[in-house]
Amino acid sequence: MKLLKRGNGWNIKCLCTGDGNGGGGCGSTLLIERGDIYLTHRYDFTGDHEYFYTFKCLVCGVETDIEETSVPNIIRRELLDEYKEKKRRENEALVLARRNN
């Protein structure tokens, strides 16, 4: 037996509504798993950081934000860590590019 991908068992049914992304979703019901969610980030009107747990509909491609409370803590933490790591790498690449110019 070979483990191809370990599942964490978590998934959630979501409606494609376009919530938080200007609306315009197609209304499909989708089974969203851990790997389907990514973090998006915006500044609110006070200038504070806001994070959103977002998925992209496979039918229409519209993004919808999931209620933060619907996403388990451990997954939220993982997503945040991934996001910070991505940002850190982007910053590193920027610094390097500047140095080389």
Q: Which of 24, 41, 42, 60 binds Zn ion (CB under 5 A)?
A: 60
Minimum distance between the CB of residue 96 and Zn ion, rounded to whole angstroms?
39
32 near Zn ion (CB under 5 A):
no
37, 53 contact by CB (below 8 A): yes
Residues that contact Zn ion, how many (by CB under 5 A): 7
Helix (H, G, I), strand (E, B) or coil at 19: coil
Residue of 48, 46, 47, 52 lying closest to 22 (CA atoms):
52
Q: Which of 16, 32, 37, 66 binds Zn ion (CB under 5 A)?
A: 16
